Amino acid sequence: MHRTPHTDDPGTTAGAPALPGGIGLSRLRVYDWPAPPGADGHCGGTPHMHLACTEAYAVTGGSGAVQVVTAEGAATVPLAEGDLVWFTPGTVHRLINDGGLRILVLMQNAGLPEAGDAVFTFPSDVLADPDAYRAAAALDPADREGSARRRRDLALAGHAVLRDRAAAGDRSAVAEFHAAALRLVRPALADWRRTFEAGPAAEVARTAAQLAALADGDAAHLRSAAVHRGEAGDAWGMCGRLDTYASRDGARVI
């Protein structure tokens, strides 16, 4: 059962309340697929970048690393159980699985990654062709694992060039990738704005309204208190198998 907001709940939006801060939450088991011949030799996920979302990794088991590329160059950040790392939009990242790497992923702006805020590091000719990009990024419903692996391998080919150029101090490499990513997502930006306003921005507005009400001595929204439980869904993600939790469909417990 979903909670119906009370009319005396200031700042409430329709539907069940979102996860704290309007974040996205998932449990990630990083792919242990070996890299294809000629790649970096590491087992792991698909390199990609977000344009509007900060992402955080809370490592819950195993070991590995995250390879990152920014305008400052290329680096590898080790990951072990108990580590917490996060990175801002524009950071190209790829997870490396050295053994049993499991992560709790916290994603800013729930809904935006699902709407397309993730661009893969495909070779430049694919990035330049929106139709070719969409075909390469799509998962085949009849062969999700195989198509996810082929997508990973194609992104690794572009990533190798990007990472080598960045490591050599070529700042134009990342700038070119950022520009290509923007061209790909620009047609969807109006939809992204609506998703943001209905989700994370609405949560900020809810808090602002509640603070204003409390300042006026009005605690009516506290009468709407409830506990919700989310159910995990399964997905073939960019970096591994995911147990995903929708941001707004928790069943009411009490």
Domains in the chain, CATH or no CATH each:
22-216+231-240 (2.60.120.10)
More confident residue, 41 or 11: 41
pLDDT at 21 over 60: yes
Neighbour count for residue 159 (Cβ, 10 Å): 26
Closest C-alpha among 243, 247, 248, 240 to residue 232: 243
**pLDDT at site 96:** 97
The per-residue pLDDT for range 78-131, each reduced to its tens digit, is 999 999 999 999 999 999 999 999 999 999 999 999 999 999 999 999 999 999
The per-residue pLDDT for range 148-181, each reduced to its tens digit, is 999 999 999 999 999 999 999 999 999 999 999 9
pLDDT band per the 50, 70, 90 thresholds, residue 249: low
The per-residue pLDDT for range 195-245, each reduced to its tens digit, is 999 999 999 999 999 999 999 999 999 999 999 888 889 999 999 999 998
**pLDDT at site 16:** 67
Contacts of 22 (CB under 8 A, 6+ apart): 109, 110, 199, 200, 201, 202, 203, 204, 247
Closest C-alpha among 104, 87, 112, 86 to residue 199: 112
